[in-house]
Amino acid sequence: MAGQALSMPCGYKQYLGFDCPFCGSQRSVLLLLQGRFRESFLMFPALLPLAVTPLFIGRKSALHIVLWFDLAVVIGSWLLRLLLA
């Protein structure tokens, strides 16, 4: 798998035996940096919403909405990954 040698092991997965909400995020960033956008998105779909969140830091009301959206995407993609595994 791409970037597997560079990524740190997931303590959550080692301890509990299943993926954490952020499993795949390190590999997704590495794929993104390699220009492999489609593979990056498929590895960790929440990366894009999380990446644009800093753009809303100066706008308190918008940031509040974006953070809730980020949380929904992270948890939704995590639950989907668990159900399909």
| Structural domain contains residue 52 | yes
Residue 5 counted as domain residue: no
Task: Examine residue 65 and state whether it is found in any structural domain, yes or no.
Answer: yes
For residue 43, tell me if it sits in a domain.
Answer: yes
Q: Which residue has the tokens 């952020």?
A: 22
pLDDT at position 7 is: 62
The model's pTM is 0.69
pLDDT at 39: 93
The predicted structure's pLDDT at residue 25: 85
Structural domains in the chain (count): 1
pLDDT of residue 34: 93
Positions of the chain with pLDDT lower than 50, given as ranges: 1-3
Query: Is position 33 within any domain?
Result: yes
pLDDT, residue 13, reads 79
Domain limits for position 52: 20-84
Structure tokens at 73: 């995407």
Tell me, yes or no, whether 71 lies in a domain. Answer: yes
Q: Is residue 10 part of a domain?
A: no
